[in-house]
Amino acid sequence: MKGLFKSKPHTPVELVHHLRDLLPFTAVIPDVRKSKRREKICELRKVILEMRTMILRR
C-alpha cells in the first residue's frame, strides 16, 4: 500500500525536455509574474535534483 501513490519516475529524455521548458523562466521577464517565476524556479530545482540523483545512482 505504501507505493500506491508514488509517481512514476521520469525518463532522462522527459527530464531534459522539462528542463528546457523551464529555463526561460530563470531570466527576469517583465511579462511573467514573480509568483509564477518562483514556482517555475522551484520546479526547476526539483528537476535538477531528480537528474542529479539519476546520474549518481548509475
pLDDT, one tens digit per residue, over 1-58 is 455 666 777 899 999 999 999 998 888 878 778 888 899 999 999 999 999 999 998 7
Residue 9 domain-assigned?
A: no
pLDDT at 3: 57
Residue 12 domain-assigned?
A: no
Query: In angstroms, rounded to a whole number, what is the distance separating the alpha carbons of residues 1 and 41?
Result: 32
Task: Tell me how many domains the chain contains.
Answer: 1
Residue 36 domain-assigned?
A: yes
At 24, which helix (H) or strand (E)?
none
pLDDT at 22: 93
Q: Where are the beta strands (DSSP E) in 1-58?
A: none
pLDDT at 8: 76
pLDDT at 43: 94
Stated pTM of the model: 0.76
Residue 55 domain-assigned?
A: yes
Instruction: With beta carbons less than 8 A apart as the criterion, state whether 12 and 57 touch.
Output: no
- Domain of 52, in residue numbers: 30-58
Query: In angstroms, rounded to a whole number, what is the distance separating the alpha carbons of residues 40 and 43?
Result: 5
